[in-house]
Amino acid sequence: MTGEGPGITGDDDDASLVRPFLHDESGAAEPADPLDLAQAPVRPFLVTSGRTKGALDIPIEAQVVATPRGRGASRSLAFEYRDIVNLCDEPLAVAEIAAKLSLHLGVTRVLIGDLQHHGLVDTYQPEVDVTEDVEIILRVIDGLRQRS
Amino acid sequence: MDSDSDPERRTLPRQRPPVPVKILVAGGFGVGKTTAVTTISEIAPLTTEAQMTSAGAGVDNGSLVPGKSTTTVAMDFGRITIDESVKLYIFGTPGQDRFGFMWRDLAHGALGALVIVDDRRLDDSFSAVDYFEGMGLPFVIAVNRFDGITIHDLPTIRWALAVDTGTRVIEFDARRFLSVRDAVLAVLEEALARARARRAARLASGAPPGPVDEGG
């Protein structure tokens, strides 16, 4: 049990843990275009095909940033994948991406999970529980007090 | 990767993403959540749609169990960049009672919540108060002064909402920046008090200190 620790993503073993509501979304979400898929150097998954628990657990405030590899590949990505990579030149929250692209939050999360899986974006979330982090909370308070 | 020849490549990370923190703004329909988010956000408030489980209110276990019906609801949110390393997100949670606040996603990791109250319709706020009490999330009750008028005084509102004396009840105006800012600060102060209490408890129990600066 001392293998490399998992990253932010869950392990592939978690594929069976896809939450049921996302299956429902498959109908609503646009299936990825097979034509573009054929050209993509990175083959995006269909939206609901076996995303891992880890991907679905990305917090809505987690920051998403395109990797250099993602930026390089963005032109050959399909639709929403490309939009996300292009949008994430600067760090953006999952919820911001969903709003800017008019995508359902659940779908956005799956797409980001795909991109992350392929190393095209990184997602960052606090490694510690911010609700217990006195220093962070103090910084937020001080920063906000200076606003007027 | 023989990237050593390129000194600029790794020594300076292009950007170290900020730590995101969030608070919630809750309350009944039309109580001023969107106004408050709009007032305080540095960006035009954004809206996204998300899935919400419509099950009974007050249940702390938000796991998505098959068979529960879900509803898609719109959610407004705003952002305040505190500095280059911390961003504060403010999420307006859909407040209607029928959604039951089963939005584990939103509440998980939140520092606290501002429950906005329209004192002409106090009962609209019951579900939010119930929910945050149930999950132990620090919250502050903020009575939105519509046109500068409040019908009930704060002790009456506190009594009507049946919150204990440890819960702060304040007045504010969702249209005024400083007023919303101070309401958010009140929530953050509650969050701070809780974080300090937990840290003290951890130290007392001899457990390793929790958050350590992940810097390195």
pLDDT at B69: 58
In a domain, A43, yes or no: yes
Q: Judge whether A88 and A66 are in contact, CB under 8 Å.
A: yes
Min Cα separation B141/chain A (Å): 18
The answer for A 31-60 residues in CB contact with B (under 8 A) is 59-60
Q: Is B89 on the interface with A (CB under 8 A)?
A: yes
pLDDT digit string, tens, across residues A26-38: 444 444 443 344 4
Task: Please give the residue range of the domain that contains residue A29.
Answer: 12-145
In a domain, A6, yes or no: no
Min Cα separation B48/chain A (Å): 5
pTM > 0.95: yes or no: no
In a domain, A94, yes or no: yes
Of B105, B191, B213, the CB nearest to A137: B191
Residue A41 has pLDDT above 80, yes or no: no
Min Cα separation B18/chain A (Å): 7
Query: Amino acid identity of B181?
Result: R
Min Cα separation A33/chain B (Å): 23
Give the chain A residue whose CA is nearest to the CA of B108. Answer: A59
In a domain, A95, yes or no: yes
Residue B216 has pLDDT above 60, yes or no: no
Indicate yes or no: CB of A143 within 8 angstroms of CB of B86: yes
Indicate yes or no: CB of A139 within 8 angstroms of CB of B82: yes
Domains contained in chain B, CATH given: 12-144+155-204 (3.40.50.300)
Helix count and strand count (H, E) for chain B: 6, 7
ipTM of this model? 0.80
Mean pLDDT of chain B: 79
CA neighbours closer than 13 Å in the CB half-sphere of residue B50: 31
Summarize the confidence of residues A106-119 as an average pLDDT. Answer: 90
Highest mean pLDDT among B84-98, B105-119, B202-216: B105-119
Q: Judge whether A122 and A116 are in contact, CB under 8 Å.
A: yes
End-to-end CA distance of chain A: 52
Q: How many domains does chain A have?
A: 1
pLDDT at B5: 44
Give the chain A residue whose CA is nearest to the CA of B104. Answer: A59
pLDDT digit string, tens, across residues B95-120: 555 554 446 678 889 999 999 998 88
Summarize the confidence of residues B57-70 as an average pLDDT. Answer: 45
pLDDT digit string, tens, across residues A5-16: 433 333 444 444
In a domain, A2, yes or no: no
Q: How far apart, in Å, are the Cα atoms of A38 and each of A55, A78, B115?
A: 24, 10, 50
- Tokens representing B28? 């009944």
